[in-house]
Structure 1
Amino acid sequence: MSKDLVTQLFGAIYAGDENLVVGLLRAGASPEATDNEGQTPLYLASVQNEPGIARLLLAAGADPSRLSSGTDLPLCGAACGGHTEVVHALLAAGARPDATELLGFTALAWSVQLGHAPAAEALLAAGADPDLAVPGGRPPLVAAARRGSLDTVKALLRHGASELRPALDEARRWLGREDLVAEVARELAQNEAPDTYETVVRRVAEGEGITLVVELLRDGGTWTGREQQTGHGAIATLLEHELGLRTPFGELLDRALPFNNPENENWLACVAELQRRADEVTFQAAAALTRSPDVRRRTFAVDVLAQLGFKDRTLGLLRPLCEAVREAPSGAEGESELLQSLLLALAHQGHSGSVDEVVRHAGHPEPAVRRRVAFALHSLAAEDDPAATDALIALAGDPDSEVRDWATTGLARTPADATPVREALAARLDDPDPTVAAEAAQGLARRQDPRAVAALARLLSDADPDSYAYATAHEAIDLIEDERARHRLRGTAPRG
């Protein structure tokens, strides 16, 4: 094989050109060739996150367990980058999940220490040992707790990881650090004096968590750096639950408040733990907190009460809070988050008498609030309530796609069948969001409106077969009473 073919093969992998890789393999390029540094094509495809090329190389005979440059495994390279699809391809081709490369690293060790939960899940599902220590001797669960990756901890627990108590101690140790950035910087700098470097930090929202990207600068350039996730409170709360430990209400509150966000993983985990208790002690603690002058504390209390039980007593606490929010100055700090939590809590109580309170906020200027209104009305409008129906009709035309989705879903499932309801649903059949269009088509199908058939045929033809929109449209076929129309729809194949 000529050097030119090897050079072209590596160039095609760098460029991510699958067609060129196919042509070069057919022309005689070896999938086991190496470049001047001993790197293999499969390793390069793995670190470059090229799952299609990796599969081509594997099909052509590349060994998934061969070390690249004598030190690096393709599976470890993929796991290190969090390239889950490549991990799946390598495992399917026979890569051993617990194989080690230089310095004893496994793919699971890389994914756990770097917080790549989907890659860790793939490896564990393929048989990776959830207790095989990472280099340095830490059990994977302790390493994941140190990283602050809640999803990785969950994956390890699902697959039988032990060492829960040491992992809890590690999570609590990081919880006790007042300045996480300063602590990471100290670890990175080791014994260097603080005045010899500059610390730069970025906060990146990822899913329900926050990742800190900490870099140390020296002489105008990056000297070293590290990413640190911040889910230690959620991890500690989860592990305490698994160990049967009852953490006091106040301690869980203290874990949630610093993140000041009801959608943050630490806040959510603490709320969920308290809701699971469903006891009088927790109810009384949350009820007392609703009277706090701190809006964040009131919001936490509402989130706990939302699904704690005690529905009638909870409604008695929520209604004065709703009134207070209405009387608060427009734009008051934290009031929007409190209102969103109140709307969600009202929805969870399932009391139709709450509809009027929810409808009051249908014209709120913030999309996030209108989303909660649409969700709450979707949950509460089980009966033909004119106020709820009118609000849902208006929200179905909202500029925000998520508002339209919940509102259209609510209209589709409400028993109301007046002309304005049908016309509001028909107006959404051409919605730019296929999920909204599918919900609208299902709502018309439920009412035997003839416009549903053409809309469902279009969705079944054009929507991604793996999407929620396609599944919704397919489910709606059974609602069509016309047998011939049902038969045609069942025969509609996706164009893709």
Structure 2
Amino acid sequence: MTVPTDPDDVDAAVAALCAAVAACDHGAAEALVEAGADPDRVLPDGTTPLLRAVEGGSPAVVAVLLGDDARLRLPEAERGRLLDAAREWYEEGAAERLRRLTGSAGPADTVWVTDSEYDSVPEITLGGRSVRAGHGAVLTNLEWEFRILAPVAELVARGVRSPRRDHVDQNASLHVLNSRVSAQTWGQAVAFRHDPDPRRRAFVVDVVRYRLWSSSDTAHAGWYEKECNRILAEWEAEETDADVLGRVLDALGETDVPTREAIGLRRAGHPDPGVRRWVPGLLDRFGEPLSPEGRRVLRVLCRDGEGVVRASAAGVLVGEEPEEEDLELLADLLRDPDPEVVRRTAYALGYVARGVPEVAELLVQCLDSGDPDVRLSAAHGLAVRNDPRTPEAYARVGPLGPEYQHDHRPGGLLEWRWRNRPDPV
């Protein structure tokens, strides 16, 4: 696409940009902006493509039209107009705003869509007009772009407005809180772990995890890591809500807190499966052999009454060199009534105990599964063992859908053939 020079072409480019904005097509919008379509062009109704994007509620589209220099490019009055529009749509709510603008009294049609690679957002249609309800994220991102430090409490409130953790509003709040590397912001954010509302406490778990993931990028990485570990360890002992506790244990499983195994052993008998499911990750010793007590507890959890717990336990136990007692347990897991337990077990078996013939035979039995993912894991497991039955195993996998496009397991057959190619004469 080339930059338009003729005035008529410029108008056509802006019109195309407005169409992309209305369709929430951030890919097309990005291509048009890169080609020269002006996101700040004043339209006959007094709006601009950028303002229309803000009202449309797609953070991905707004980011494309903002570009990298919006704070310097846009006059103060225009920045204020964008902020006001985002705030008004967010506070009133997308469905309510559409109802008022269109005069439609019927129910809104709501579907969840992907706004960018990792974010989801409700798309609201009413009275023939559609918008995405990501105005909280749009407002949060605009404030950060324009160097406005929103109160931490407000960012937390935006983060918990939707119960879905992949909502764009939540992710935007997490991103900005993590980007504001200051003791004041950090202290105010983590103080919400004592909030009476479990939704806010759950959000703070994600704040801490976000900081753990990105702490290496800051000048105070060591301090933040120790602080996150301390907070999570103390929090685990205090938390009473099962959902929040599960999230805390999940986060602890990504740390090297010295007491993590002891915490896992203590929580293994918790009555809520949403808590027990995270215990196996705490018993995993990062490549070191399981402790005898840890292995015993994992065996118990592999027989738990809830499939989600069995699947989690299987994924850790299978990663260990199997003892004689484990071989019978592995066979049971591969016959589990929960398909996810079978998938997790078969997948993990492909990478361990390569010198144990009994495991290879278990993988061969998996080729009779009605689940193509289990058959693929079995075939891949045989390939990495250089088993002569590998070509037959892959023939039994059958056709795979597009979701396996980037999966490494189908490539196991090619690697097996390369290792077993005839010696050149």
3-state SS, counterpart of residue 462 of structure 1: coil
What per-residue deviation string (whole Å, max 9, x for no partner) do you get for residues 60-104 of structure 1? xxxxxxxxxxxxxxxxxxxxxxxxxxxxxxx8xxxx996867xx9
Amino acid paired to 1:120: A
Residue-pair matches, total? 362
Amino acid at match of 1:390: L
**What's the offset of the Cα at 1:302?**
0.5
Indicate which of 254, 257, 268 corresponds to 1:348. Answer: 254
Q: Which residue of 2 aligns with 1:117?
A: 26
In 2, Cα distance between the equivalents of 1:303 and 1:275?
Answer: 10
- 2:230 aligned residue: 316
Decide whether the 8 Å contact of 1:396 with 1:403 is kept in 2.
Answer: yes
| 1:345-368 superposed Cα distances (whole Å, 9 cap, x missing partner) | 2243255864673993999667x9
Note if contact 2:39-2:49 (Cα within 8 Å) is conserved in structure 1: yes
In the alignment, what sits opposite 1:474? 411
Q: Distance in 2 between matches of 1:182 and 1:110?
A: 23
Residue 146 of structure 2 corresponds to residue 213 of structure 1 = no
Could you report, residue by residue, the CA deviation over 1:271-322 in whole angstroms, capped at 9, with x for unpaired residues? 1222334554344334322222211011011010013133344333334544
Please state if 1:188 is matched with 2:102.
yes
Query: Which residue number in structure 2 is paired with residue 484 of structure 1?
Result: 421
Deviation of 1:146 (Å): 0.9
The answer on 1:231 being equivalent to 2:134 is yes
Report the identity percentage. 27
Contact 2:209/2:251, CA 8 A, preserved across alignment: yes
1:258 aligned counterpart, secondary structure = coil
Residue identity opposite 2:254 in structure 1: H
Task: Please name the residue that 1:248 is paired with.
Answer: 151
Unaligned 5+ segments in structure 2 are 115-119, 213-223, 299-312, 320-329
| Residues 200, 311 of structure 1: alpha-carbon distance in 2 compared, 3 angstrom cutoff | same
Q: 2: CA distance between counterparts of 1:363 and 1:436?
A: 30
1:390 paired residue number: 317
Supply the AA of the counterpart residue of 1:143.
Answer: R
Letter in 2 for 1:110: A
Cα separation, 1, equivalents of 2:355 and 2:271? 24
- 1:325-382 deviation line (CA, Å, top 9, x unaligned): 6x65xxxxxx43x35533442243255864673993999667x995x778x5899754
- Within the alignment, does 1:281 sit opposite 2:195 as a pair? no
Aligned 1:40-55 pairs, distance under 5 A: none
Q: Secondary structure at the match of 1:198?
A: coil
Distance 1:275 1:414 in 2: 38
Q: Any conservation in 1 of the 2:383–2:412 contact (CA below 8 Å)?
A: no
Q: TM-score, normalised by structure 2?
A: 0.65
The residue aligned with 1:174 is 89
Contact map agreement 1:276 1:308 (CA 8 A) in 2: no
Distance in 2, matches of 1:198 and 1:147, equals: 20
Q: Secondary structure at the match of 1:484?
A: coil
The 1:482/1:225 distance shift into structure 2, 3 A limit, reads closer
Equivalent residue number for residue 269 of structure 1: 172
Bigger drift between 245-254 and 263-272 goes to: 245-254
Query: Structure 1 residues 321 and 108 mapped into 2: Cα distance closer, same or farther (>3 Å)?
Result: same
**Cα distance in structure 1, aligned partners of 2:182 and 2:354:** 38
Q: CA 1:410–1:298 in structure 2 vs 1: closer, same or farther (change >3 Å)?
A: farther
Distance 1:465 1:384 in 2: 37
Give distance in 1, aligned partners of 2:229 and 2:333.
25
Alignment counterpart, residue 264 of structure 2, candidates 350, 357, 369: 357
Deviation at 1:267, TM superposition (A): 0.8
Residues 384 and 462 of structure 1, relative CA distance in 2, 3 Å threshold: farther
How much has 1:234 moved relative to structure 2?
1.4
Matched, 1:200 2:110: no
SS class of match (2:111):
strand
Distance 1:486 1:205, change over 3 A: farther
Structure 1 residue matching 2:19: 3-state secondary structure: helix
Please say if residues 234 and 267 of structure 1, whose CA atoms lie closer than 8 Å, have aligned partners that are also in contact: yes
Distance 1:444 1:351 in 2: 36
Higher relative contact order (CA 8 A, sep 6+): 2
Residues 91-106 of structure 1 mapped to structure 2, 5 A cutoff: 106=15
Over the aligned positions, Cα root-mean-square deviation in angstroms equals: 4.7
